[in-house]
Amino acid sequence: MTDLTPHLLARIEAHGPMTVADFMTEALLHPTMGYYTTRDPLGAAGDFTTAPEISQMFGELIGLALAQTWLDQGAPALFSLAELGPGRGTLMADILRATRAVPDFHAAAKVHLIEASPTLRAKQKSAVGEATWHDTIDTLPDDQPLFLVANEFFDALPIRQYQRGPEGWHERLIANRDGALTFALGPELPQPQLAHRLADTTEGQLVETCPTGTAITQTLGARIQSTKGAALLIDYGDWVSLGDTLQALQDHRSVPPLATPGEADITAHVDFEALAKAAACDHSRLTLQGVFLERLGITQRAQALADRLQGEALNSHVAAHRRLTHPSEMGNLFKVLALFPKDAPPPPGCAT
C-alpha cells in the first residue's frame, strides 16, 4: 500500500490547496510513494496495458518508420535514438530488433532513454541492454540528429485545469474537506496564456494546459529543426482538448482521480495542438493510430506472423491486431503527431 493521502493532506495543511499539476506530480513521481516510482504498472497483472505490450508489430513498424526517416535525411553517421517514458523497454527492444537489418543504422544509433522511475529503469536495462538514461530531455546530446518516440508519455505529464468565469479563469485546485481530498476552485484571475481559448469556450467550461509537455515539445522542435531528426508522439487525446479529462486507472478499471493517489495511474488527454504549436519545426497532421499502422503495413506484417501461429496463439495475435487498429478499440482513440525538420519529408505513415 502506498496511499499518499495523509502526505497530501499534510501538504495542503501547510501550504494551502494545490494545483492539479502538483497533485499529479506527487501521486505519480513521489520519490518513495509515487505510482511510477514504486512499481511496474504495465501488463495483465498491472493497472493498464499499452500498444507495445499488446503486440511486437507496434514497435517493429515504428522502428522501420524511424529507419526510413533516417534514410530520407541522408542516413547521418551518428544520431540519438531516444524514447520518452519507455515503460518496460518493450517498444525500444522491438525497434532495435526490427532495424537490425537496416545497413549502418545500428552502428550510427546511440540509445537514450528518458525515465523518471528507478523500478522501470531496471526493467528497461534488461530489455534494451546498452543505453544512456536521463531524468529529462535536457541532458540529451545536442550536437547530433535526434530520432525520438514517445508512446503514452505525454498523458502522464502534470496538467493544470481552469474553469472560465465571467471575467477571468478559476484554477481547479485540490483541497482538504473534512479530512478528504476534494476539488475546489481558486480565485478568478486573468490567465493571458489562455487568451486563445476565449473564442472556443463559454463561462463554466473547463480547459487544460500541460506546461511540462509544451516545454518538452518546444525543446524537441528546436532540436529537430537545428540538428535534424524526427519525433513520433503517440497518445490519446485530440487536436484541441475541452473539458475535464483527468482520469485514473487501477486494476484495468476507472477509479475517481482523488481516491487512491499513489496506487492508481493518473493521466489526462493530450492537447496535440498545444504540443504542435510549441514546436519550431514542421509537424504532420494528427493521424489516427489505426490509419498510421495500416499505412505502415500492419496487415501484411500480421499475415506473415499469422502463418507461423495456430490455436490460442493465433487467436490472441488476431485480437492484438484488431485491438491496435480497429476504430472501436485503440485505432481511433490513439493518435500520432510527427515532428520533423521544415525541409524534410514527414515520417512514413504521417501525412502533412
DSSP code, position 274: H
Q: Are 149 and 62 in contact, with CB atoms under 8 Å apart?
A: yes
264 touching ligand SAH, by CB under 6 A:
no
| Distance separating alpha carbons of residues 259 and 339, to the nearest angstrom | 37
Residues 6+ apart with CB under 8 A from 122: none
116 touching ligand SAH, by CB under 6 A:
yes
Residues 6+ apart with CB under 8 A from 46: 39, 40
91 touching ligand SAH, by CB under 6 A:
yes
Residues 153-192 that bind ligand SAH (CB under 6 A): 153, 156-157
User: Which three cell numbers mark 144?
Assistant: 547530433
| Distance separating alpha carbons of residues 203 and 206, to the nearest angstrom | 9
86 touching ligand SAH, by CB under 6 A:
yes
Nearer Cβ to ligand SAH, position 169 or 236?
Answer: 236
79 touching ligand SAH, by CB under 6 A:
no
Beta-carbon neighbour count of residue 22 at 10 Å? 18
For the chain, the straight-line distance linking the first and the last C-alpha, in angstroms and rounded, comes to: 47
Q: Smallest gap, in angstroms, from Cβ of residue 210 to ligand SAH?
A: 11
Q: Are 231 and 272 in contact, with CB atoms under 8 Å apart?
A: no
Q: Smallest gap, in angstroms, from Cβ of residue 99 to ligand SAH?
A: 18
C-alpha triplet 330, 38, 86: angle, nearest 5°: 40
The span of 6-14, 15-23, 85-93, 243-251 binding ligand SAH (CB under 6 A) equals 85-93
Q: Smallest gap, in angstroms, from Cβ of residue 52 to ligand SAH?
A: 5
137 touching ligand SAH, by CB under 6 A:
no
282 touching ligand SAH, by CB under 6 A:
no
The span of 115-123, 171-179, 213-221, 337-345 binding ligand SAH (CB under 6 A) equals 115-123
Beta-carbon neighbour count of residue 267 at 10 Å? 24
217 touching ligand SAH, by CB under 6 A:
no
Hey, what amino acid is at 157? L
- Among 4, 33, 66, 120, interactor with ligand SAH by CB under 6 A: 120
Nearer Cβ to ligand SAH, position 36 or 70?
Answer: 36
Binding site for ligand SAH (CB under 6 A): 28, 36, 42, 50, 52-53, 85-87, 91, 114-117, 120, 151-153, 156-157
